[in-house]
Amino acid sequence: MTGPGSLASLGNIMQMAYVPSDFDAALKHWTEVVGAGPFFLLPNVSLPGGRYRGEVSDPVFTMALGYWGDMQIELIRPENDATSLYRGEYGVADRLHHVCILVESIADARASCLAAGAEIVFEAPVGDTGGVIYADPGTGPGNLIELLEPQAGTRELFAMMRDAAKNWDGSEPLRSLG
């Protein structure tokens, strides 16, 4: 079912995300074996105002983003012990953690989650203009759906990363954005 009110009606999956137990080994696998990349490192990201299952949560994490064709691959390394979707029940490692759909309205995404009976596991503002929801559609850990209303400039940043992957020659597999 992809009709109105379903999560699929919000858009197409643009990202597959993983929380590897060995971040460096996973990065090496994705770049050298799979050939995805280059990856761009965003260290010590936090989402102030975040809520995990209704409780205040301030996870800090490092992420590396790269492209395999048009699919974004995200590798996540938790940097603190905050109760969050990266620790505990939803903190699955070494397999798919979540997929991401870019949405135009986090409010509409929330309404679709509620209509579909999906549990909102984590939510937070993203910058001044965006927001994120991680929803469990009823299939449990490893099957979360991230619904991201990007803050200003994010779509352009993703396009730059995707363009960098188009003719990537394997050099500089991990790049800094700073």
The pTM of this model reads 0.94
- Per-residue pLDDT averaged across 89-101, rounded? 95
pLDDT at 177: 84
Quick one: three-class SS letters along the chain? Answer: CCCCCCHHHHCCEEEEEECCCCHHHHHHHHHHHHCCCCEEEEEEEECCCCEECCEECCCEEEEEEEEECCEEEEEEEECCCCCCCCCHHHCCCCCEEEEEEECCCHHHHHHHHHHHCCEEEEEEEECCCEEEEEEECCCCCCCEEEEEECCCCHHHHHHHHHHHHHCCCCCCCEEECC
The pLDDT of 30-37, averaged and rounded, is 97
Q: Name the average pLDDT for the chain.
A: 94
Task: Let me know: does 81 contact 87? Beta carbons within 8 Å.
Answer: yes
Is the sign of the CA dihedral 7, 10, 16, 21 positive or negative?
negative
Cα dist. 54→10, 105, 123, 136 in Å?
23, 21, 9, 14
The answer to whether residue 178 scores a pLDDT higher than 80 is no
- Set out the domains of the chain in order of their start, with CATH numbers: 7-166 (3.10.180.10)
Q: Does residue 5 surpass a pLDDT of 80?
A: no
Q: What is the pLDDT of residues 101-145, one digit of tens each?
A: 999 999 999 999 999 999 999 999 999 999 999 999 999 999 999
